[in-house]
C-alpha cells in the first residue's frame, strides 16, 4: 500500500469549506476515485490546534498513484489552484508504504517510511 500524508494549516474562516473539500466525500477524494488503485482518504484535525489538519491518502501502490498523476494531472492542478486560498501552509510529510495486520481480532493499518 502507498500512503501520502499532508499537513495543512487552514485559514480559520475557511475551515468548513476545507473540511467539505478534503474529506472522504470531498472534491479531492472524488477526483482520486476516478483512478484505479485509490483506496480512500482520511482527514484528521488536531486536538491541540483546530486549524491544523492531516490528509491521509491511500493507494494500492506507488505505481497506481503515479498513473493517477499522469492521467489526471490537469484536474489535480485545477483543484489545487481552486483551494489554495483555504490554507496558510501545506507540508507533504511523506509517502509511506503500509502493511495490514491483526491484533486481538481487530484489523489495523500500520505504516513505515518507504
pLDDT per position in the chain (114 positions), as tens?
Answer: 999 999 999 999 999 999 999 988 899 999 999 999 999 999 999 999 999 999 999 999 999 999 999 999 999 999 999 999 999 999 999 999 876 555 555 555 554 443
Architecture of domain 2-113: 2-Layer Sandwich (3.30)
- Angle ∠(15,17,23) on CA atoms, nearest 5: 90
Quick one: pLDDT at residue 110? 54
Question: Closest Cα partner for 7 from 56, 75, 68?
Answer: 56
Quick one: pLDDT at residue 113? 42
pTM of structure:
0.83
At 78, give phi and psi (nearest 5°).
-60, -45
Quick one: pLDDT at residue 23? 84
Quick one: pLDDT at residue 25? 87
Quick one: pLDDT at residue 111? 47
Amino acid at each position: 500500500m502507498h500512503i501520502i500524508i499532508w499537513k495543512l494549516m487552514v485559514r480559520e474562516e475557511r475551515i468548513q469549506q476545507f473540511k467539505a473539500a478534503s474529506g472522504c466525500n470531498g472534491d479531492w477524494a472524488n477526483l482520486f476515485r476516478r483512478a484505479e488503485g485509490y483506496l480512500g482518504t482520511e482527514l484528521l484535525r488536531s486536538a491541540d490546534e483546530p486549524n491544523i489538519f492531516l490528509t491521509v491518502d491511500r493507494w494500492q501502490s506507488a505505481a497506481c498513484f503515479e498513473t493517477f498523476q499522469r492521467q489526471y494531472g490537469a484536474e489535480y492542478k485545477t483543484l489545487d489552484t481552486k483551494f489554495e486560498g483555504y490554507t496558510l501552509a501545506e507540508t507533504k510529510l511523506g509517502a509511506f508504504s503500509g502493511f495490514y495486520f491483526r491484533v486481538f481480532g481487530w484489523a489495523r493499518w500500520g505504516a513505515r517510511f518507504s
